[in-house]
Amino acid sequence: MTQAQSPSPDVQEMVAQSDTGARNPKGFAGRLLWVIPVCWSLFQLWYASPLPFIFDFGVLNDTQARSIHLMFAIFLAFTAYPAMKNSPRDYIPLTDWVLALAGGFSAAYIYLFYHELAGRSGAPTTLDIVVAVTGMLLLLEATRRALGPPLMIVAAVFLAYTFGGPYMPEVIAHKGASLNKAMSHLWLTTEGVFGVALGVSTSFVFLFVLFGAMLERAGAGAYFIRVAFSLLGHMRGGPAKAAVVASGLSGLVSGSSIANVVTTGTFTIPLMKRVGFPGTKAGAVEVAASTNGQLTPPIMGAAAFLMVEYVGISYVEVIKAALLPALISYIALIYIVHLEACKAGMTGLPRKRTSTLLQSLTSFVGTILGLCLLSAAVYYGIGWTKDVFGEAATPILSVLLLLAYTGLVKISSGYADRNTDLDQDISEIPDPGPTVKSGLHFLLPIVVLVWCLTVERFSPGLSAFWATVFMIFILLTQRPLIAVMTKTGDVKQQIKAGVVELFESLASGARNMIGIGVATAAAGTVVGVVTLTGIGLVMTDFVEFISGGSVIMMLVFTAVISLVLGMGLPTTANYIVVSTLMAPVIVTLGAQHGLIIPLIAVHLFVFYFGILADDTPPVGLAAFAAAAIAKSDPIRTGIQGFTYDIRTAILPFMFVFNTQLLLMGIDTWWHLMLTIFSAITAMLLFSAATQGWWFTKNKWWETALLLVLTFTFFRPGFWWDMVYPEKEFYPGTTISKHVMDLHPGEKISLIVSGETLDGDQITKTVQLPFDQDTKTADERIQSMGLTLTAKENGMYVDMIEFGSPAESAGIDFDWEIRSVITDTDRPMKEWVFIPAIFITLLLGWNQKRREKRPK
């Protein structure tokens, strides 16, 4: 018998210090630390809802809402987080009350005096500067308390750079800024603290974190873990595979890797140890699975919403780009766990009832077909309803949703005994069918969220609002409904319990946001310094010098920065800092070396390596939490977790050079399926190579061959380009001929050269979109923002239209159009997969033959 242990006090303290605050006072202070987070959640719901516009009351613009958002975050950072390790936990000292009120007032200053500040924009008063300086210092202290010293130190270094510009080395020197100018820029405008990052936290992130907290409080987290165990626990190394899937599902509702470790790890790690995993590897599997939970859409540790703002694409496009890498990363981790189990000869836990192979296949196929039919019925049925009933469709669909919810709760009530706590003896795996049916209604809010995002195309904030409203309804009704349907329990008591759970989730969701709120504000300081000093322009020359002009070395340099900063910074703050500094540099230098890198690929690259830092020794807190549960060495656990995560480290390099992995440039279903097949195959082969085991122990040449095959499946164009050149280059004077071949929505690739404003002569590759189906070549070129003049020695830019694609691409007056680049008419690069598949099968056959030999 194996019992899922409760988190130890040390682990609980670690989670509190990281996510919600370690202070838990009694009496009035304790009630206040419950009421204020509830008020914060209610404010965010009001701000996201249509109610302010319906009642014409409490309508706030973005800047005012950010001010109130940060006011709550700073106040709670000083009251919920002790100043030092030996500071009192059971009461709030007077100094912390003073700092909390001063910090809250400084943050709310823009809201309280919004019209006055707008009237004297650019001419701050002495009081404005005093409040800004006070607010900045208190923000740094709040950041230190909630997140530790690293982010505070990074922000302080950038602030020092603002004032010390003239004294810096020549390569990064600038003229400096006065106190008035710096504080006005960073605190009284939306360029610094109250910038895009805090805006995303205010508009999107809070509601998704609140949605996740409500799902968790309702029992969805435990349901996901039970489902994962019922489906996978019987397999070889099953508890570890279930841990991976459960952590991925928890990533849907959680943006914290440490909370993910504790939520799933207290249940999964003891079971992994039971089937034969050493404590170090059991903890490492949970760490790798939980840190990768932040890769899972839709929340992605809040980074998905920041990418919407920074990259300038829709939320659906961000999720689309992140989906396949996250999927193959989790499949590979499950496979790594399988290989570990095979090497050690492990087994799974026994089932209550075994099924034949035919029964298992029938059940699997039936489930898949049922999901497909249900998806089709929902999609086309709702579309038909909207077409037929028009405005009346919304109330009709609401009634249908309530009926579906009631029906699913009725089904769940028949398996109420399955909804037990995870802290119980586990001796055998439960049946999948009853386990899955015990919480199907938890899927409805996720369906509402995805529907609003992808079909209705609501904003992320409004989508999260409606999903959260439905979660509030579930919290208030699921207990009474089950009590009525099962005819057990006191309905009034269950209603009361539902209300308590609702307000507890409102409080816990807000307390989970304290760290994110101050982190995005502090990271906004870095962004503000970059815009104030112009260091972003300097970074291009600096990185080009460090990397020697090599795109690969540039990416390695960026990965190292992300890993080093990520050891101390939260994932969100790390992403903001590194993407602000490095993303434009990589795109610019890549273009100068003939490589068009989509901006979303660079942002995902930075994000992935920031996540990897969560289990990178010696700091990774997720590794310390898992080691505490597994009773293993945290450093060894972190190192082992990082070796499991090497597969995640190669993914960003691959999708930068093969953007099809981000589902870009895929036009047909068969092309999509081929891309998914090749990506998953590549990752499985890479896992076998790094584990040194496929069907049996690898020989050195087999590992080398597996790595070559991995590269081939990930980037088939590398080999194909050696046989058939990918691009053809034509003189720039032929641009008129080539633009006539374009269709609306297509792009033309050009090599341009000219002198920058700094006097540097550069050559780079650009892509210009063609959107207007005009008749003549000159009109088509002008629609891209260019007016060209033919000279004896080539084609030159005569005029640039401001705000046009050409101007955005960095083309300037009197630049030369040196070449037009077109795709070569060649066989598909995927033909390389045929010999690769043959060699893979041959290698697998050789290993299977060796495996069957008597040992």
Listing DSSP states for 84-144 in one string gives: STTS-SSS--HHHHHHHHHHHHHHHHHHHTHHHHHHTTT---HHHHHHHHHHHHHHHHHHH
Residue 474 structure tokens: 């579930």
Per-residue pLDDT, 4: 47
Name residue, tokens 């194996």: 2
Q: What are phi and psi of 798, to 5 degrees?
A: -95, -45
- Report the residue count for the chain: 855
Q: Which residues of the chain have pLDDT under 50?
A: 1-4
Pick the closest to residue 250 from 319, 296, 318 (CA basis). Answer: 296
Residue 255 structure tokens: 């943006």
Pick the closest to residue 719 from 827, 590, 647 (CA basis). Answer: 827
Residue 789 structure tokens: 């003049």
Per-residue pLDDT, 1: 39
Q: What is the dihedral of CA 500, 501, 502, 507, to 10 degrees?
A: 90
CB of 543 closer than 8 Å to CB of 172: no
Q: For 274-324, how does the pLDDT look when each residue is reduced to its tens digit (9 = 90+)?
A: 778 888 888 888 888 887 777 877 667 667 788 888 888 888 888 888 888
Cis peptide before 618 (omega within 30 of 0): yes
Query: CA 301 to CA 200: how far, in whole Å?
Result: 12
Tell me the pTM. 0.81
Per-residue pLDDT, 2: 46
Q: What b-and-e string marks burial along 462-475, b requiring 16 or more CB atoms within 10 Å of the CB? A: bbbbbbbebbbbbb
Per-residue pLDDT, 702: 92
Per-residue pLDDT, 709: 94
Residue 46 structure tokens: 């009001």
CA distances from 550 to 590, 811, 855 (A): 9, 23, 49
Say whether 829 sits in a helix, a strand or coil: helix
